[in-house]
Homo-oligomer: A and B are copies of this chain.
Amino acid sequence: MSLGRIVKLQALITKPLRRAYSTAPELTQIRHNVKRSDYANLEDKDIAFFESIVGKRYALQEDLQAYNVDFWRSVRGNSQLVLKPGTTQEVSAILKYCNERKLAVCPQGGNTGVVGGAVPVFDEIVLSLTRLDKILHIDEITGIAACETGCILENLDNKARELDLVVPLDLGAKSSCHVGGNVSTNAGGLRVVRYGNLHGSVLGLEVVLANGEILDLMSDFKKDNTGYHLKHLFIGAEGTLGVVTKVSILCAPAPQAQHVAFLGLPNFDAVLKTFKSAKLNLGEILSACEMIDAPTLDASLEHFKLNSPINGFPFYMLLETSGSNGTHDMEKINKFVEIGMERGEIIDGTITGEARKMQEIWKLRELAPMALTKDGYCFYYDLSLPLRDFYSIVEVMQKRIGTLATRVTGFGHLGDSNLHLNVSCPAYTDELHHKIEPFLYEYTHKLKGSVSAEHGIGFIKKNYLKYSKSAEAIAMMRDMKKLLDPKGILNPYKVLN
């Protein structure tokens, strides 16, 4: 039995989101007062050259709003040219030319990022990888799949499922995000607790460097200890060190059964104990471990008129199992829940293996960010924190902010120590903003946490990098950038200041 993704989040959220942000945002360069660097300006001869490479049809100069504005409508660039190369060689020819001319380039995948990393800030040429969408091969025995960068994650996953495999990455934007974009942002998502991060599962990359050189780091093997492991430099580099054009990734065996447990817990200490028990008792079948606090659940219930199978608890946990034997899995879950209830760590809950019911439960979690936005405006954070401080930071913020906010809530990938902390309010105010920042980042810094667990730095967070990385590390990042892209043409104004 092949199990499809339970919630097609993007399909669910696009409409309300688009309504909420129906007008185009202010230009990023104005809103954030950015100064354009000394890149060359696009001239007619440039366009003629690019047309000779990709063809007139794939050198777009009109209706570029979808490429200039991000999915969350938080940033807006002013690019006058979108190029859609059809081969790695075309990407190479474009970059070689841009590097020689010092024309800035913004690589773009599915444009589903949340930190403004994939849209231009000024007039960078948008290099859309949409046409590089081929699945190259999938080996049904080893589970190793290779595809071009613009392949949509869901398409690769669907193809893998035909061979009883799954792509080891799952996130809300699955139906539109690109595999290359996932790699470039080291996308996390819902199943990291099971399958680990992309540094573990990406086996090879093909990358085009700023000067147009094609770097073949593809591999069809899990093990290859020949020289420096260069591919990792491009995983999570957000298109600033090179343009990923091909990806080889290790798929996992498809689970034969899935179950979801939705649990009500009396306090955060019980949440931690339940997580520990889940690791021990569900061990190898645990595939998601999410925490949701009461104010978050309330927002989902209110704004989306959802029903929760249980109510009235300060904390909820959503656990998912994926295994090769449904009967065994159900026995393990029952035992795990019984132990938790005996100990008073779990008060109430529901367990289901029915697709429809699992979907309903996942909605409670996955619609949370949208629900909070519907309060009016939401300051939304993505932190890694020590588990002992995982929730106390929410309480600290609740106390600090008081009635200025509609809700101060926390939910997230507890299994990965990844908290999404949210402050919703009727409308954006500077007062509230300054009440949160930089306090929250300083607080995170003191706990040696990460100010961006999974979203990346992009444009929006580049001033906060210093809270999670030492001056020496940032200096080395600059050295890498200088080495690989000396003219700085690749995705400028992103990641590094």
CB pair B223–A416 under 8 Å, yes or no, is: yes
How far, in angstroms, from A465 to B495 measured CA to CA in the complex? 33
Chain A 163-205 interface mask (CB, 8 Å, partner B; 1/0): 0100000000000000000000110100010001101110000
CB pair B465–A226 under 8 Å, yes or no, is: yes
Chain A 214-250 interface mask (CB, 8 Å, partner B; 1/0): 1111011111111111101101110001000000000
How far, in angstroms, from A123 to B326 measured CA to CA in the complex? 61
**Which size class do A's interface residues fall under?**
35 or more
CB pair B280–A164 under 8 Å, yes or no, is: yes
How far, in angstroms, from A225 to B460 measured CA to CA in the complex? 13
Among B280, B386, B472, B496, the residue within 8 A (CB) of A324 is: B280
CB pair A235–B229 under 8 Å, yes or no, is: yes
Chain A 87-124 interface mask (CB, 8 Å, partner B; 1/0): 00000000000000000000000000000000000000
> Which residues in B have their C-beta under 8 angstroms from that of A192?
222-223
A36 at the interface (CB under 8 A from B): no
Known: A232-B235, A325-B332; 16 extra A-B contacts, CB below 8 A, are: A139-B386, A141-B272, A196-B201, A215-B470, A215-B472, A220-B386, A221-B453, A222-B384, A223-B453, A225-B453, A227-B495, A228-B480, A230-B477, A284-B323, A325-B331, A480-B483
Tell me whether A227 and B457 are in contact in the complex, defined as CB-CB below 8 angstroms, given that A200-B200, A387-B139, A387-B141 are known contacts. yes
CB pair B223–A450 under 8 Å, yes or no, is: yes
Q: Which of A274-327 contact B (CB under 8 A)?
A: 275-276, 279-285, 322-325
Nearest chain B CB to A420's CB is how many angstroms away?
Answer: 12
How far, in angstroms, from A457 to B228 measured CA to CA in the complex? 10
> Which residues in B have their C-beta under 8 angstroms from that of A280?
164, 253, 256, 324
A436 at the interface (CB under 8 A from B): no
How far, in angstroms, from A195 to B223 measured CA to CA in the complex? 13
Using CB atoms and an 8 Å cutoff, list the residues of chain A in contact with chain B. 139-143, 164, 185-186, 188, 192, 196-197, 199-201, 213-217, 219-230, 232-233, 235-237, 241, 253, 255-256, 272, 275-276, 279-285, 322-325, 328, 331-332, 384, 386-387, 413, 416-418, 448-457, 461, 464-465, 468-470, 472-474, 476-477, 479-480, 483, 495-496
How far, in angstroms, from A237 to B283 measured CA to CA in the complex? 33
CB pair A452–B253 under 8 Å, yes or no, is: no
CB pair B223–A197 under 8 Å, yes or no, is: yes
Best-buried of A227, A331, A452, A496 by chain B (most CB within 10 Å): A227
Best-buried of A164, A197, A276 by chain B (most CB within 10 Å): A197
Best-buried of A226, A229, A413 by chain B (most CB within 10 Å): A226
Nearest chain B CB to A368's CB is how many angstroms away?
Answer: 18
Among B141, B223, B483, the residue within 8 A (CB) of A275 is: B141
> Which residues in B have their C-beta under 8 angstroms from that of A272?
141
Copies of this polypeptide in the complex: 2
> Which residues in B have their C-beta under 8 angstroms from that of A275?
141
Considering the complex, give the chain B residue whose CB is closest to the CB of A165. Answer: B279
Nearest chain B CB to A240's CB is how many angstroms away?
Answer: 8
How far, in angstroms, from A345 to B280 measured CA to CA in the complex? 34
> Which residues in B have their C-beta under 8 angstroms from that of A241?
228
Closest 7 CB pairs of A and B: A200-B200, A232-B232, A283-B324, A221-B384, A284-B284, A223-B453, A224-B450
Among B141, B215, B237, the residue within 8 A (CB) of A228 is: B237
CB pair A222–B197 under 8 Å, yes or no, is: yes
Among B164, B450, B465, the residue within 8 A (CB) of A221 is: B450
CB pair B283–A227 under 8 Å, yes or no, is: no
Considering the complex, give the chain B residue whose CB is closest to the CB of A385. Answer: B221
How far, in angstroms, from A387 to B221 measured CA to CA in the complex? 10
Provide a sorted-by-A list of 21 A–B residue pairs whose CB atoms are within 8 angstroms: A141-B275, A142-B387, A142-B417, A197-B200, A221-B384, A221-B417, A223-B450, A223-B453, A225-B456, A226-B450, A226-B464, A226-B465, A227-B465, A229-B237, A230-B477, A233-B233, A256-B280, A284-B284, A325-B331, A328-B331, A483-B483
CB pair B228–A233 under 8 Å, yes or no, is: yes
Nearest chain B CB to A22's CB is how many angstroms away?
Answer: 30
Among B188, B216, B324, B496, the residue within 8 A (CB) of A284 is: B324
Best-buried of A143, A224, A384 by chain B (most CB within 10 Å): A224
How far, in angstroms, from A284 to B325 measured CA to CA in the complex? 10
> Which residues in B have their C-beta under 8 angstroms from that of A456?
225
> Which residues in B have their C-beta under 8 angstroms from that of A453?
221, 223-225
> Which residues in B have their C-beta under 8 angstroms from that of A477?
227-228, 230
